[in-house]
Amino acid sequence: MTLRGKPLQKNDKWISRYQSKTSDCSQCPLREQCLAEKAAARQITRWEHEAVAERHQQRMHQNPNRMKRRGVMVEHPFGTLKHRAGMHHFLMRGLAKCRGEFSLMAMAYNFTRVLNILGVGALRGHCARRSENALKNAKYA
């Protein structure tokens, strides 16, 4: 199959279109399984990073315990963050916006952890010590 046309951007992904030659398909013994009755050639679309996803899928099939380990290590904290925020899905669309949304959730979680570990008094004291140096704070205000 050969690349046809330029890659198109669809849903923030670059998709390439490949097409077989009509002469190759007309002589192929598997034509009925591969093509519709009226189709002259086969067309396949492929995401530019699909090879990476396929390699990942292959690694997961070779070592199925890896996903279980990932679930134990990564999914629980992620679920905890989402539960604390009362979120069941992201409210924004697009990878950059979802990253921002998740970063805000993580920052709120980390801030709560700091308050729980250090206490409100220690955090207040730290902020007061920083505010004593007015020149330093005016520089960053």
Below-70 pLDDT ranges, the chain: 87, 131-141
DSSP assignment of 62-127 equals: H-THHHHHHIIIIIHHHHHHHHHHT-SS-SS-SHHHHHHHHHHHHHHHHHHHHHHHH-HHHHHHHH
Q: Are 30 and 55 in contact (CB under 8 A)?
A: no
- State residue 58's pLDDT score: 92
- State residue 52's pLDDT score: 92
What ranges do the domains of the chain cover? 2-53, 63-140
Q: Report how far residue 123's alpha carbon sits from residue 128's, in angstroms, rounded to the nearest whole number.
A: 9
Structure tokens at 108: 């709120």
Q: pTM of the full predicted structure?
A: 0.43
> What's the pLDDT tens digit per position in 90-117?
778 888 988 888 888 888 888 888 888 8
Reduce the DSSP state of residue 34 to 3 states and report it: helix
- State residue 36's pLDDT score: 78
- State residue 74's pLDDT score: 73
Q: Report how far residue 48's alpha carbon sits from residue 137's, in angstroms, rounded to the nearest whole number.
A: 48
- State residue 55's pLDDT score: 93
- State residue 21's pLDDT score: 79
How big is the CA angle at 50 (ends 68 and 56), to the nearest 5 degrees?
A: 25
With both helix axes pointing from N to C terminus, report the angle between 95-118 and 76-85 in degrees, rounded to the nearest 10. Answer: 90
Amino acid occupying residue 17: R
